[in-house]
Amino acid sequence: AKKSGRNRFSFFTAGMRDAAWARMKLIDELRHALPQRQLDVYYQPIVELARGATVKAEALLRWHHPQAGLMLPDSFIGLAEETGLIGEIGDWVLGQAAALAREWAARQGGPFQISVNKSPVEFMSKTPVRNWDTYLARDAPGQQCLSVEITEGVLLNDSPWVRDKLASLHNCGVELTIDDFGTGYASLAYLKKFKVDYLKIDQSFVQDMDSGGDSRVFAETIIVMAHKLGLKVIAEGVETAEQRDWLKAAGCDYAQGYLFSAAVPAADFMALLGAAP
Ligand code: C2E
Ligand code: CA
Ligand code: CA
Ligand code: CA
């Protein structure tokens, strides 16, 4: 930068300074987002394909930012992970989901499960289990009304603290879903070892399906393999009736996507139950 002259150098540093300042401001705002009740959890229905009934939902975090408006997780989860705020935020999401799963199960008169995303950071930190077990034993007494979604990378990191946290969730009846399946290592060895319950086929494969070819072969293979191992399969990002019909014919158990509904606020979710296309 020195050789590029005084003006370019100062332009560069000013840009850097602005970016660093914007980042620090966002971190500060994120720190206050939870106490100031700006965070919200939206729910996307998950449909059982054989019956066309909504039997589960995925919890998806939202931030009602006072200036920027509705912010999607991809724009702030990374910051939450870097700053460690994800611990407190993740616990809060789990608590919200646990309470609602029980409420919706009661109102539907049958089992209802909510699936919560957990960041690798929440598993990989060496800090002891964030008392998930005591807290879940109170909120969700073994009704399998909760599932936790993690990516394959978490299981490949075969460390004692990851195993402890998975075991404590399992002991409370929380099921385990492998998210974005097929985009990572897709190693099979860990599926049995960690008592995985669901594989979620990544939306990139679902959206490629219409053009035929490899994505269909891939999805079929996952479904057959998962069933042989005693696991259930969820397809995400289902946007068309053709994708739904193909997945149903291939034996896929569950689907979610804009065809059924985008994620909606908790208050609007009840209206969606029983109205799957
Ligand atoms: P994900 O877990 O893979 O979630 C699926 C994303 O696809 C969601 O985006 C969802 O709104 C979107 N989606 C659903 N149906 C369709 C569809 O038919 N077509 C398309 N194109 N997209 C669809 P969202 O809500 O923006 O979340 C992005 C990511 O943020 C999630 O990806 C997840 O990794 C992360 N995330 C969300 N909530 C939480 C949370 O509470 N904790 C943590 N650690 N991560 C979260
Ligand atoms: Ca997910
Ligand atoms: Ca996913
Ligand atoms: Ca994803």
Residue 11's pLDDT band, with cuts at 50, 70 and 90, is: low
Contact 184, 200 (CB under 8 A): no
Q: For ligand 1, atom 30, which residue shows the shortest CA distance?
A: 73
Quick one: which atom of ligand 1 is closest to the CA of 81? 44
Q: Is the pLDDT of residue 214 over 90?
A: no
> In angstroms, what is the span from residue 95 Cα to ligand 3's centroid?
21
For the segment 86-134, what is each residue's pLDDT rounded down to a tens digit?
A: 999 999 999 899 889 988 888 888 889 999 999 999 887 766 556 676 6
> In angstroms, what is the span from residue 109 Cα to ligand 4's centroid?
31
pTM of the prediction? 0.92
**pLDDT value of residue 2:** 47
**pLDDT value of residue 275:** 54
Quick one: which atom of ligand 1 is closest to the CA of 41? 41
Residue 210's pLDDT band, with cuts at 50, 70 and 90, is: confident
Please, which contacts does 254-262 make with residues 24 or more away whose CB atoms are closer than 8 Å? 254/46, 254/47, 254/48, 254/49, 254/55, 254/56, 254/198, 255/46, 255/47, 255/49, 256/44, 256/45, 256/46, 256/47, 256/58, 257/203, 257/206, 260/44, 260/45, 260/47, 260/54, 261/44, 261/45, 262/44
DSSP 251: T
How confident is the prediction for the chain on average, in pLDDT? 87
Q: What's the CA gap between 89 and 42, in Å, rounded?
A: 14
List, chain by chain if needed, residues with CB within 6 Å of any ligand 1 atom. 44, 60-61, 72-74, 77, 90, 93, 117-119, 179-180, 203, 236-239, 257-258, 263
Quick one: which atom of ligand 1 is closest to the CA of 42? 25
What are the DSSP calls for 148-172, one per residue? Answer: EEEEHHHHHS--HHHHHHHHHHHHT
Residue 168's pLDDT band, with cuts at 50, 70 and 90, is: confident
